[in-house]
Every structure is written in structure tokens, then in C-alpha cells.
Amino acid sequence: VRAVKVELGERSYEVLVGPGARRLLSSLVPPSATKAAVVTQEAVGVEVGTGVAQETFFIKEGEAAKSMATVEQLCRNFARFGLSRADVVIGVGGGVVTDVAGFAAAVYHRGVALVHVATTLLAQVDAAIGGKTGVNLPEGKNLVGAFWQPVGVICDTEVLAALPRREYRSGLGEMAKYAFLGVANLPELALEEAVAACVECKARLVAGDEREVAGLSGAKAGGRALLNYGHTLGHALETAGNYDLRHGEAVAIGLVFAAHLAHRLGRVGKERVAEHERVVAAYGLPSRVPQGAKSEDLLALMARDKKSTGTGLTFVLDGPAGLEVVRDVPEATVLATLEGLR
């Protein structure tokens, strides 16, 4: 098991990565804690021992569980359990659990310690690290939340063996992104090494831009906004719906699309596009826009993407200086790139 540090001054923490890492959970429980509220879902099925008095609280499956109602229910259950400010919340699960448990920990008693035990590949390389927590509103996804860093994270690669194939593959899509954020030879690495390398990469980007302000003020290499590589089209495909795409699968298409777009804009050569195609294919992920998805609809959804703060279309794109936020990408070029990816 290796420890990857997320350097955030007094909010620094370690991510423990490797087979069996979940058995180290009690070492991450703060000394002040006498109780631990374990938040998970029935389907997760990963048991943890905290070394203190613990009770498990289940939330529902799926995006619908990411609601203010779930957070209220959790906080009420914490109160009945007698969870105090000195105690700890443990999120055991994938992105839905880490987002909801994280937000409940951020607001209960104005903030209690939080540890994540990430049980999906996607959560291990992304959702459990970085401190963004939140829930959805009927008006939109992730509209309410808080930055609340955990005091420790566990990425036990052993538990990934039990994931449904599709869920695992979705995680690979999020993982593929890191091949273009500086993780060399990613598809060739053993699973634990690959997870650790992705965690190191995310830790570096989060440490340099904890609250994602770099992306708001302009193109600045190293900002957290770069973690959205492949996500602009990815989100549009997910929102457009009905294509039976998991998050990571949509991101994989988004990565290949971003490479072709960068090529059309003269930012990268053909070999760089081929590298994107190669990584995505190595993971057995899709790389083409689904037939039914109309380019005009995808364009409209991308223009609305919450990450775009400028007036025009904004993408994270590869280029001579690596990835950066590129604003005001011409619509016609985006449309032509989409059409070319059928």
C-alpha cells in the first residue's frame, strides 16, 4: 500500500492506495473521534472497521440519491446516533456516496471530519479526492455543495474486482484522461500503479488550485479546470441522454473528440490524435459520437456547460504547451469535428 499526499497546508491528507488498503482505515480516524457514521449503499457491500463505535447509514442508489432530502435524513440520523463535532463520517462507495457523505460532513455541526473509502475505479481516481462535495436540485446537477476536504482517503484496489464490468469500464474512461494530463504509459501500468499515478496527478492539480479559480480567470496551465478534459462533450452526451453511455464512456468519446478538435484548430499533429485513439481503444472504450445524437443538440448543450464562463464555446484542449482552457472555439469547427466523428 502506498501513500499519496494531497498538499493543502493544514488541510493536507494522504490517499492510501493498494490491495487491502481498507484494513488501514482505523489509522485515518482522528484521535478525537469516539464515533463513526458510515455512509454507504446496500449494493456497495464493502465492510469497514473504524476502531471506534460505528453505525452504518444507507442511502439509495443512483443520481436520485444526490438530494438535499438525503442530506437532511443523514444529518438527522447522525444526530440520533449522537455524532459530535469530534467524531467522523466515513463515506464508503462511489461518487454518489462520496459527494453526499462529503456534503453531509461539511454541514453537520458546521463540519466534521470525513474519510472516504472509494470502492469504484471512478471514485478512486476522481470523485473521492479533491474536496468537492454536493447534491443535485431539480434545476440542475451539483448546484448545491461545499468544498470540504477529507482527512484521508482509501483506494483499496482489491474491492474493484467485484465491480460490475460496465462500472469498471466507466472508471477506465475517467482514468484515460490522465494519460493526457501527464501520466506516462498509463495503459501499460498494473492497476495499483495506475490508480496511484492518477491520484498523484489529481493531487497535484488540486494542490495548485484547490477551489478551481484558475479556470475562471483565464487559461492557466496546472489549474483544476484541466481535470475536465473530455468532459464538455462527455457531459453533453450524458445530458442528451438515451445513448446508454456511462459517465466514463461519455468522457472517452469526449477525449477523442477534443483531440480531433485540437487538430482541426492546428494545435496538435495527427500523431497526437492517434495517441488519444490508442489509449481509449486500449481500454475498450467507445470513441465515436452515437448515431442518434444530433450535432446541433450537442452544440447547444456544450454552450450551456457550467464550466464555460466566457461567451463562446470553451474546451480544455491539447496544444504545443500541453492542455489548456481554450475559449471562443468557432461553432463551425466544433460541428465539423462532431460530424467527422460518426
Catalytic positions, please? Answer: 110, 132, 174, 202, 212, 224, 228, 231, 235, 247
- In the complex, least distance from residue 336 CB atom to ligand GLY, rounded to whole angstroms: 32
Residue 130 touches ligand GLY, criterion: CB under 6 A: yes
- In the complex, least distance from residue 259 CB atom to ligand GLY, rounded to whole angstroms: 23
- Tell me the angle at which helices 165-177 and 191-208 cross, rounded to the nearest 10 degrees: 50
User: CB-wise, 173 or 286, nearer to ligand GLY?
Assistant: 173
- Which of 66, 132, 260, 276 forms a contact with ligand GLY (CB under 6 A)? 132
| Residue whose cell numbers read 462529503 | 102
Please identify, among the stretches 52-60, 79-87, 126-134, 270-278, the one whose residues bind ligand GLY according to the rule CB under 6 A: 126-134
Residue 91 touches ligand GLY, criterion: CB under 6 A: no
- In the complex, least distance from residue 212 CB atom to ligand GLY, rounded to whole angstroms: 8
User: CB-wise, 130 or 286, nearer to ligand GLY?
Assistant: 130
Element (H, E) at 154: strand 152-156
Do 289 and 274 touch, CB atoms closer than 8 A?
no
User: CB-wise, 238 or 338, nearer to ligand GLY?
Assistant: 238
- In the complex, least distance from residue 306 CB atom to ligand GLY, rounded to whole angstroms: 14
Cβ neighbour number for residue 31 with a 10 Å cutoff: 6
d(CA 203, CA 167) in angstroms, rounded, equals 23
Please identify, among the stretches 67-75, 130-138, 248-256, 323-331, the one whose residues bind ligand GLY according to the rule CB under 6 A: 130-138
Residue 131 touches ligand GLY, criterion: CB under 6 A: yes
Please identify, among the stretches 47-55, 128-136, 185-193, 279-287, the one whose residues bind ligand GLY according to the rule CB under 6 A: 128-136
Distances (CA, A) of 2 to 17, 180, 182, 195: 5, 23, 20, 11
User: CB-wise, 93 or 131, nearer to ligand GLY?
Assistant: 131
3-class state of residue 86 by DSSP: coil
**In sequence order, which ranges of the chain are alpha helices (DSSP H)?**
68-81, 95-107, 121-122, 165-177, 191-208, 214-217, 231-240, 247-264, 270-282, 295-304, 331-340
d(CA 257, CA 16) in angstroms, rounded, equals 33
User: CB-wise, 41 or 287, nearer to ligand GLY?
Assistant: 41
d(CA 114, CA 199) in angstroms, rounded, equals 18
40 closest CA partner among 94, 82, 77: 94
Residue 127 touches ligand GLY, criterion: CB under 6 A: yes
Tell me how long the chain is: 342
Interface residues with ligand GLY (CB under 6 A) are: 127, 130-132
